[in-house]
Amino acid sequence: MNIVITGGAGFVGSHLAEALLAAGHSVVVLDNLLTGRRVNIAHLEQRPRFEYRFHDVCDPLPDLPCDALFHMASPASPEGYGRHPIETMLTNSQGTLHALQLAQRHNARFLVTSTSEVYGDPKEHPQSETYWGNVNPVGPRSCYDEGKRYAEALTYNYSQVHRLDARIVRIFNTYGPRNSPEDGRVVPNFITQALRGQPLTVYGDGRQTRSFCYVADLVEGLQRALFTAGTQGEVINLGNPAEFTVLELANLVVRVTGSRSEVRQVAARPEEIAQRRPDISKAKRLLGWEPAIALDDGLARTAAWLGEELGLKASAAER
Ligand code: NAD
Ligand code: UDP
């Protein structure tokens, strides 16, 4: 298949591109490197069935051969969208329209990567796809939450009106190699701090919870969501249902990296999300999918990558 990935130079998209190439597909990545890095796909650029094009999806997409399209372009970390709120909204609105138009022109399968953030600060726990969410439209997360809610609504209505073979995947916190230490998400932050022997900065009291999915598990789920028959029009949560407090995560990172860092509580984030855990029974039923990699294992793999990236491998092992 000819597959287009918008945002494919990012953390998740680069792993997906790798997996699709390995499965024998041709892949074109469109990315403007707003939060992604060319180095994420550098190892793919010499492959004959891979192409990278610098492109902002807020401009109409080039008319590429396209049997399937993964629309993943969007800043994803609170720091990333906090730095680029308007770009985030435009990417998820105009960018999603342009991605849908390309898919429609080629009668291609379409998958948009939405987020657990559409549930906001959830009143229902765990979160299943039927929950409508609790979102502040004018808060620090609104550019992302409302941008993704718009992207979902546009995809839903486009698929209704044009009979597009589209599905919506709501991704829960995912981590792994290529999660850049600069992007501010909790796992790369904590591992980087642990490897450097710095205090791990827990925002607030650390009792807020998240459920962390290793990137290889997510990439398997994304492929199944696109390729499995009977997923047209579906909304599917993908994430790891094992739930941890942020404080538990910090202590686990210290243990896995063998660090001597202290765990320090610092100022809470405004409008913190108190708890988050996916109900993945739909993904299990429709896709036969569930995550296989436990948090301590995934953290060790991520720490090995970050250690190389930061040139800290040896010192981490010695601490
Ligand atoms: P990322 O920031 O590493 O990747 C996003 C990519 O989109 C980057 O390469 C960025 O340069 C690109 N991009 C942004 N705006 C663009 C534009 N206008 N035109 C072209 N490219 C643009 O983030 P990620 O973690 O890889 O996330 C990928 C997708 O998955 C995003 O849609 C995100 O919302 C979704 N998601 C991720 C997580 C997670 O935990 N990683 C959780 C929920 C949802
Ligand atoms: N967090 C933290 N210290 C950090 C980074 C994040 O305590 O250095 C917390 C953050 O307040 C949130 C959780 O970790 O409760 C996950 O944050 P992240 O930015 O990774 O993603 P979110 O789920 O909030 O979008």
pLDDT at 182: 87
Percent of the chain surpassing pLDDT 70: 98
In which band, very low, low, confident or very high, does the pLDDT at 183 lie, cut at 50, 70 and 90? confident
Which residue's alpha carbon is nearest to atom 21 within ligand 2? 185
4/106 Cα distance (integer angstroms) = 12
pLDDT at 313: 54
The DSSP letter of residue 271 is: T
**pLDDT digits 0-9 by tens, 196-210:** 999 999 999 999 999
List ligand 1's pocket residues with C-beta within 6 A. Answer: 6-7, 9-13, 31-36, 56-58, 72-76, 80, 91, 95, 113, 115, 171, 173-174
Pocket test for ligand 1, best of 15, 28, 31 (most atoms within 8 A of CB): 31
Of 217, 234, 191, 194, the C-alpha closest to 294 is 217
Q: Do 66 and 4 contact (CB within 8 A), yes or no?
A: yes
pLDDT at 312: 73
Regarding predicted confidence, which is higher, 313 or 123? 123
Does the annotation mark 144 as catalytic? yes
Which ligand number lies closest to the CA of residue 113?
Answer: 1
pLDDT of 9 over the 60 cut: yes
**pLDDT digits 0-9 by tens, 41-83:** 999 999 999 999 999 999 999 999 999 999 999 999 999 999 9
Predicted TM-score (pTM) of this structure: 0.97
Regarding predicted confidence, which is higher, 110 or 182? 110
Class of domain 186-210+241-276+294-318: alpha beta
Asked if residue 202 has its Cβ within 6 Å of ligand 2, the reply is yes
Q: Which atom of ligand 1 is nearest to the CA of 148?
A: 34
**pLDDT digits 0-9 by tens, 75-97:** 999 999 999 999 999 999 999 99
Asked if residue 261 has its Cβ within 6 Å of ligand 2, the reply is no
Domain boundaries, the chain: 2-172+214-238, 186-210+241-276+294-318
Residue 280, amino acid: I
CB-neighbour burial class of residue 244 (10 A; exposed 0-12, middle 13-18, buried 19+): middle
Which residue's alpha carbon is nearest to atom 44 within ligand 1? 115
CB atoms within 10 A of CB 143: 21
Q: Within the chain, where are the H helices?
A: 11-22, 78-83, 85-105, 142-162, 186-196, 215-227, 246-257, 281-287, 295-310, 313-318
Q: Do 187 and 134 contact (CB within 8 A), yes or no?
A: no
Which residue's alpha carbon is nearest to atom 13 within ligand 2? 186
Fold of 2-172+214-238: Rossmann fold (3.40.50)
96/130 Cα distance (integer angstroms) = 22
